[in-house]
Chains A and B, each alone.
Chain A
């Protein structure tokens, strides 16, 4: 038995676990399937990707907001015998947190290999925010923060934060619109993306206002899809088909003070990343300057900007400059959401951005580039649209990526991976 370790040290599990397989369904509106069927499809794709048989998966985790299906159903459907499963409540920021918990479950000896899935008919069944308001709402807790004033959706909740950032730092709608512009460029080279059309800053700021300062094109797409990824220890990770994406560090559902009403505490334009950075970079042993590719959650254009800023990719208040500088673009210094993310590819509460970074680290992003006789992508690194002779979205020589997961301004998660 090993006794010479300090299990309380944040670095203890650094680089000891990996993601070995990723998979997803199509990103559609109107899947015509149950979330149960979608979930089995995504897990099957992740198992096929890893080349792992069902008999070697013994853990399963998922998250949902009463809009999914539970692990025991999917395990049964797929003939997987589980030694561990757990289905939790939650949306954005859960993906990274569950990867951390999967590591913990394996480390505790409860199981050996865990599949994490998210299945949702996010367009055709349970939409973001919902519309079914109750006529009477309890006033316990923060109810005067919601229905009494017509608040139901994420955009409504977050907009005051976005407005205050514009007021405090002079951030402009045109700067923030560049998040959508850049993600749309990336999506144009992604055969899976729901929206593949490139857009301009003018398209964004001239689209109809949903909740000032959010125009329609500042908001993510809502889609039906399931996504899955497989976590195992580095001991086993090299037994399967792909170069593993090794996990350097994870931080899960880190919160600002008083998230009951994060709006009330401290600067409203500061988000959870301000706190996460102290955990994730310590755990991973790297800093923002080492990250070559980010997956900053883009439920809205603003959420990517606020996170990148508070994690330290730029100075506080300079997020508008950062996102409009071209740094985040394919071919730029640190591309963000190279799949098109939630704004363009599909809405998965964060899973697709992790899947994308896993593929980036393998050098095998599924773009329009040709495939050689061994089934490997021959990337051209031409990031123009396919019709213009481009179609690539592989970042050259990616060694380290980071995901910045978002639940709301007050809560977030993060995951740093390296090429195995």
Chain B
């Protein structure tokens, strides 16, 4: 954890419940109490119906790969990530709805044909600091 050298997000009041859940290995998602839809990322107003009645629900942590890309360029990736290339970024269609960017674990970036769009994935968290555990996803 002390050796986590990649950029670490800073929780803010709006997103704090997500980070609190992440520390316990749970995917917490904001859900609108009026239209019942889940949105990602956290915000104070539902982007679908503009309700401000947002509640937090524990999600299944399951989803499918919507699309992905393989990052090869050491020069273009942020400090800390340059040493990881090649690695795979992906969008995950969450089982509860909406879409989340991530980095896929447990895939072979040198064999991109083996990565399945539509394939099932499960969330996991990496402890970047005491307070911030960052979500990643892995094929089931």
Contacts and interface: CB of A to CB of B under 8 A. Distances in A.
Interface of A: 129, 131, 133-145, 147-153, 155-156, 159-164, 167, 208-213, 258, 261, 263-264, 268
The 8 closest A-B pairs by CB, nearest first: A150-B81, A133-B78, A159-B69, A212-B70, A139-B9, A164-B67, A147-B7, A264-B99
A139 B12 contact: yes
B36 interface: no
Contact of A264 (B40, B75, B78, B135): B40
B122 interface: no
B77 interface: yes
- Best-surrounded residue of B7, B80, B82 (most CB of chain A within 10 A): B7
Contacts of B70: 209, 211-212
Interface of B is mostly: mixed
Interface centre among B15, B66, B67, B100 (most CB of A within 10 A): B67
Nearest to B5: A135
Contacts of A143: 9
Contacts of A159: 69, 89
Contacts, number: 135
Given A150-B81, A167-B117, A210-B72, A139 B103 contact: no
A160 B90 contact: yes
Contacts of A258: 47
Given A141-B41, A148-B6, A151-B89, A211 B73 contact: yes
B69 A212 contact: yes
Nearest to A133: B78
A129 B7 contact: no
Contact of A137 (B9, B76, B77): B9
Considering residues A136, A140, A150, A258, which has the most beta carbons from chain B within 10 angstroms of its beta carbon? A150
A147 B77 CA distance: 9
B79 interface: yes
A416 B16 CA distance: 48
Contacts of B86: 209
Given A149-B103, A151-B77, 20 more contacts: A133-B79, A133-B80, A136-B8, A138-B9, A139-B19, A140-B14, A145-B41, A147-B9, A150-B80, A150-B81, A155-B76, A156-B76, A159-B69, A159-B89, A160-B67, A162-B69, A210-B72, A211-B69, A211-B73, A261-B41
Instruction: Give chain B's interface residue range (CB within 8 Å of chain A).
Output: 35 or more
Contacts of A148: 6-9, 134
Interface in B32-69: 40-41, 47, 66-69
Nearest to A130: B76
A187 B68 CA distance: 32
A211 B87 CA distance: 10
20 contacts: A135-B7, A136-B9, A138-B12, A142-B41, A145-B41, A145-B101, A148-B9, A149-B101, A150-B77, A150-B80, A150-B81, A151-B101, A156-B71, A160-B68, A162-B69, A163-B117, A209-B72, A261-B41, A268-B66, A268-B91
A129 B81 CA distance: 15
A143 B100 CA distance: 11
A140 B40 contact: no
B69 to A, nearest CB: 3
Contacts of A211: 69-73, 76
Contacts of A264: 40, 91, 98-99
Contacts of A147: 7, 9, 78
Contact of B15 (A136, A139, A208, A268): A139
Contact of B78 (A142, A150, A163, A213): A150
A167 B117 CA distance: 8
Nearest to A209: B72
A378 B117 CA distance: 53
Contact of B117 (A136, A152, A164): A164
Nearest to B84: A150
A152 B89 CA distance: 12
Contact of A150 (B6, B12, B112, B135): B6
Contacts of B11: 139
Contacts of A142: 41
B10 interface: yes
B81 A163 contact: no
Given A140-B15, A163-B68, A210 B99 contact: no
B7 A160 contact: no
B72 to A, nearest CB: 5
B69 A150 contact: no
Contacts of B76: 129, 131, 152-153, 155-156, 210-211
A137 B15 CA distance: 13
B90 to A, nearest CB: 7
A144 B71 contact: no
Contacts of A136: 7-10
A142 B68 CA distance: 18
Given A150-B89, A264-B98, A161 B8 contact: no
